[in-house]
Structure 1
Amino acid sequence: MSSYTFGQKAFTPVPPDKGSFPLDHEGLCKKLMIKYMTCLRTNDNDNSFCREEARDYLACRMDNNLMTREDWSKLGMVNLLIGCTGSVATIKLPVLIRDLLEQNSFNVEIQVITTERARHFFTKEELPENVVLYTDEDEWKTWTKRGDPIIHIDLGKWADIFVIAPLDANTLAKIANGICDNLLTCTARAWDVKKPLLFCPAMNTRMYEHPLTFQQISILQSWGYKLVPVIEKTLMCGETGAGAMAEVATIVEYLKTCISTLNE
């Protein structure tokens, strides 16, 4: 690997934990490459301090078709799509994203789809600047004519993993029955079932214990989707019982296991 000099000190860039790091000979992403290398110099070649810079540089290479999806995966990069629905458990979204971005075993690029009801429980300002947030309004912003991007299709192509956390009773029923009347459910309907999808139910105990809920969960599991089970606790309504979304740490562990099997 080449050595680069910034100021008076020469240094050799250290690649991420997995795979080899591609240099930008084409020049399309050179500024981001230099930013990453400068970060390495500042931090004595410790890549753990430069994951955001590495992610931005590699994402640029992906966007410009300078890397294949296989190259991206070999470097430990994962495109994660998070869907959140109209459950109060959506308040945990910023914490989930923070914990995922702080993981050392993989580099994750995150985009988020929110339903209209979920927007009551968090603000865009609570999310990191590098996390893209999509709402129903965005579905038609980029499409004016034939050939324009279709977001619910493109998001499905972009993502390696789709996790819906929380999945409320309403959206669970929609997905199980093939209804696609918003950006999240359209993306779920267009999802390639050969790719991992994790779902984390969250609802009142009475709703969770209804026979329909178990039927609908079974339908999603029959497609190969992975259930992250609910837990028992005192819910926001004051009742105690099953139906609360799994803890953030549990969801992260499920995702770590899922990511570890992507290249198998």
Structure 2
Amino acid sequence: MVFIAEQERVEGFTHVLLITTGSVASVKAPLIVEELLKHEKVKIEIVATQPSLTFFNVDNVTKAGGRVWVDQDEWKSDYKIGDPILHIELRRWADVVLVAPCSANTLSKIAHGICDNLATSLLRALSPTTPTYVFPAMNTLMYEHPLTSEHLRVVQEVLAETLRSYGRVCL
């Protein structure tokens, strides 16, 4: 299926892009989708990293009302120059981005600018005007690790400072 932002946006709706990552808290993805869709005038798309799929069934998210996009949806074998690029179309579509949950791995990738999957490529391509909320979720020892503190600092200070005049990054 080809996703074209212009064709998928619905006037008067808030377009929420949920990114799930390899945290065990991804088990809550269907519940997050259900809760978001309880609000009128909300559309949701989900980008799931491969590790996040360990923790929830895509069918449950689909039943809740969301569509799930994965790395394999990004570059099809029949791709031609000029065809729509999924991470660009999804970022054009999104009014707000939620990284929930954000694993230690994905937090590190965001802090270092690594773009090796659909989720991190999309985050790197976001307009500074797109409000982005990052919800770290990992076990206590991982959260208390000094590298996690450094990654949080980078995301909070460096990215938030860059985006402050345009949008928001919240942890």
SS at match of 1:148: coil
Larger Rg: 1
| Shift of residue 143, structure 1, vs aligned partner | 6.0
TM-score, normalised to structure 2, is: 0.85
SS at match of 1:187: helix
Task: List structure 1 segments (4+ residues) > 4 angstroms apart after TM superposition.
Answer: none
Residue 101 of structure 2 aligns to a residue whose secondary structure is: strand
- In structure 2, how many angstroms separate the alpha carbons of the residues matched to 1:125 and 1:178? 31
1:226-263: CA deviations, max 9, x gaps? 11xxxxxxxxxxxxxxxxxxxxxxxxxxxxxxxxxxxx
Aligned to 1:149: 84
Q: What is the rounded CA distance, in whole Å, between the counterparts of 1:193 and 1:220 in structure 2?
A: 13
Please show how residues 105-184 of structure 1 align to structure 2 within 5 Å.
106-129=40-63, 130-141=65-76, 144-184=79-119
Amino acid at match of 2:58: K
SS of 2:156 mapped into structure 1? helix
Whole-Å separation in 1 of the counterparts to 2:72 and 2:30: 21
Aligned-residue RMSD, C-alpha: 1.9
**Structure 1 CA distance for aligned equivalents of residues 72 and 101 of structure 2:** 21
Contact 2:21 2:103 in 1 (8 A): yes
- The question of whether the paired residues in 1 share the 8 Å contact of 2:17 and 2:98 is answered with yes
Q: For structure 2, list consecutive stretches of 5 or more residues without a partner in the other structure.
A: 1-5, 161-168
Which residue of structure 1 lines up, in the alignment, with residue 38 of structure 2? Answer: 102
Q: Normalising by the residue count of structure 1, what TM-score does the alignment of the two structures yield? A: 0.56
* SS of residue matched to 2:74: helix
CA contact (8 A) 1:142 1:148 kept: no
* Kept in 2: contact 1:79–1:109 (CA 8 A): yes
Q: Which residue of 2 aligns with 1:216?
A: 151
SS, match of residue 43 in structure 2: strand
Q: 1:243-258 counterparts in 2 under 5 A?
A: none
Give the direction of change, closer, same or farther, for the CA distance of 1:220–1:145 in structure 2 (3 Å limit).
Answer: same
State percent identity of aligned pairs: 41
Q: Deviation at 1:141? A: 2.4
Q: Deviations along 1:85-117, whole A, 9 cap, x unmatched?
A: 1111001011111111112xx411000011111
Give the aligned length. Answer: 156
**1:63 aligns to 2:7 (yes or no):** yes
